[in-house]
Amino acid sequence: MKSMNTNQPKVFIKTYGCQMNKLDSELSIGSLAKSGYAFAEEEKDADVILLNTCSVRDKAEHKVYSQLGSLRDQKEKNPELILGVLGCMAQNEGDRIFKRMPHVNLVCGTRMFSKLPELLEEINGTNKRIIAVDEDGEVSFDRLVTQRQNRYNAFVSVMRGCDNYCSYCIVPYVRGREFSRPVTDIIDEVKRLADDGCKEVTLLGQNVNSYGKGLNGEVTLATLLRKLDPIEGIERIRFVTSHPRDMTKEIIEAVGELPGVCEYLHMPAQSGSDKILERMRRQYTSAHYRELIEMAKSLVPDIKIASDFIVGFPGETEGDFEDTVKLLNDVRCQNSFIFKYSPRTGTAAAEFPDDVQEETKKGRNHILLDLHKKISTEENRKIVGKSVEVLVEGTSKSDAGRLSGRTRQNQIVAFDLPEGSNQAGISSLMSGKLVNIDIVDSTDLTLFGDLSEIAFDKMTH
Ligand code: SF4
């Protein structure tokens, strides 16, 4: 690797998995930039390659091992190259990575990100192998707000870890115990983001609605939302992911009352069967979940719900699955993330017999996906003819002739500009702006609309 003092060494970070991992990569980029590193666009140009990994499924780890295998040639050609594995898989696999992949230099767990510059410095020029997976390591939330992928929206980590130990989930083992970030730090970061042009923040936590546990005083997610809402420049606040057991009326009231907090709740149900919920160790019943949704819909009339469902969990009978179908039908989620169960090594559920046949899992998956598609098609159709507020994100991914953005309820909106308007430069001019779009058509995934000529003139002049 090049000397830090002469030529900036280049780092390439590849991120796998969830939003928390993407944010961890941003945090790492921030601390490495502060220490004098530059960033490579491609692996082949890098002096340091870091894979920030996911452990949620066995398959995710296999993917990383195969990627590490394919980097062996590059390391052989350039022995000075530093190769590191970060995050959940580093925490979970530890020195097994070193045993299987002798060309890897660094294994850095979920609580050691803040030490990255020092660890790389120690390896630099020595080809040492370091493993840093301390479970009690200090969690760093510090980042350079300017080092982020999207200027107008940002994720803000408010808590880490999880104390729930759902029987199918590896997260508590790789992310550790729950740890909430002090309110003042969060407020400072959101203010700095607002100063840097950010309009929308999403508060992130594995169990975000238990925010405040372990902090002195009466801090909850609801009080945090009330403190963030008045920050000038922040137009929208979201939070993910909520656990039904920790949802409170106080939080739902904050969603309903605060103008900046979006009417959107991602609260995974996982199953509609109480027997399965108990085996999953979810600590609530299907009736309790329904009560929460009813409360949310009555206190926040425009709210949209997103949920996760697992089908084919060990012991799931046809009757249990019917309960899940009924729950989705009744709740009418706008977004449903549906997964076929597969055992995760190291979790309690991996000890249960995986007794639902693959064909049955596939069939149940299809039934739930079809139902979800039907519900979201119907719900989106109800919006046709209405005007919705959209935060413009840029050119539509599926149609370069359109712009796209999201509603407060997280629906994707693709829209046309007034006829004859000049497309060139419009995307960057309008990105980050809030506009009202008249919805003229819809599918299950997207709302389509027009920006009126008057609104367009107002935005661009
Ligand atoms: S609440 Fe359950 S599913 Fe969510 S991260 Fe914690 S253990 Fe995993």
CATH no. for residue 392? 2.40.50.140
Residues 342 and 269 in one domain: yes
Within a domain: 447: yes
Domain stops at, among 379, 412, 440 = 379
Q: How far is the CA of 380 from the centre of ligand 1 (A)?
A: 30
Ligand 1: atom nearest CA of 207 is 1
Instruction: Return the residue whose CA atom lies nearest to atom 1 of ligand 1.
Output: 164
What pLDDT is stored for residue 144 in this prediction? Answer: 58
What pLDDT is stored for residue 2 in this prediction? Answer: 47
Q: How far is the CA of 273 from the centre of ligand 1 (A)?
A: 18
Mutate which of 20, 21, 162 for ligand 1? The one with the most ligand atoms within 8 Å of its CB, which is: 162
Q: How far is the CA of 28 from the centre of ligand 1 (A)?
A: 24
Within a domain: 174: yes
Q: Using an 8 Å Cβ cutoff, are 413 and 388 in contact?
A: yes
Residues 111 and 250 in one domain: no
Q: Which tokens in the block code for residue 75?
A: 């390391």
Domain stops at, among 132, 164, 195 = 132
Within a domain: 89: yes
Place of tokens 């003819």: 385
Residues 423 and 373 in one domain: no
DSSP 6: T
Mutate which of 92, 160, 171 for ligand 1? The one with the most ligand atoms within 8 Å of its CB, which is: 171
Residues 414 and 355 in one domain: no
Place of tokens 């195969």: 66
Residues 372 and 391 in one domain: no
Mutate which of 174, 177, 243, 281 for ligand 1? The one with the most ligand atoms within 8 Å of its CB, which is: 243
Ligand 1: atom nearest CA of 281 is 2
Domain stops at, among 347, 379, 411 = 379
Residues 325 and 192 in one domain: yes
Within a domain: 146: no
Within a domain: 236: yes
How far apart are the two ends of the chain, measured CA to CA in Å?
50
Q: How far is the CA of 366 from the centre of ligand 1 (A)?
A: 24
Q: How far is the CA of 214 from the centre of ligand 1 (A)?
A: 18
- Which residue segment(s) compose the domain that 66 sits in? 10-132
Question: What is the domain-level CATH number for residue 22?
Answer: 3.40.50.12160
Residues 371 and 260 in one domain: yes
Q: Using an 8 Å Cβ cutoff, are 264 and 303 in contact?
A: yes
Within a domain: 3: no
Q: Which residues line ligand 1 (CB under 6 A)?
A: 162, 164-166, 169, 171-172, 206-207, 243
What pLDDT is stored for residue 425 in this prediction? Answer: 67
Q: Which tokens in the block code for residue 98?
A: 């070193």
Task: Work out how many domains the chain is built from and give that number.
Answer: 3
Residues 43 and 106 in one domain: yes
Residue in 178, 252, 255 with CA at minimum distance from that of residue 215: 178
Question: What is the domain-level CATH number for residue 221?
Answer: 3.80.30.20
Would you list the DSSP string of 70-108? HTHHHHHH-TT-EEEEEEHHHHHHTHHHHHH-TT--EEE
The ranges of the chain with pLDDT < 50 are 2-6
What pLDDT is stored for residue 4 in this prediction? Answer: 45
Q: How far is the CA of 309 from the centre of ligand 1 (A)?
A: 13
Residues 47 and 184 in one domain: no
Ligand 1: atom nearest CA of 170 is 8
Residues 392 and 371 in one domain: no
Residues 185 and 286 in one domain: yes
Quote the distance between the C-alpha of residue 378 and its chain's center.
Answer: 26
Residues 160 and 120 in one domain: no
Within a domain: 147: no
Q: How far is the CA of 350 from the centre of ligand 1 (A)?
A: 15
Q: How far is the CA of 88 from the centre of ligand 1 (A)?
A: 14
Instruction: Return the residue whose CA atom lies nearest to atom 2 of ligand 1.
Output: 166
Within a domain: 280: yes
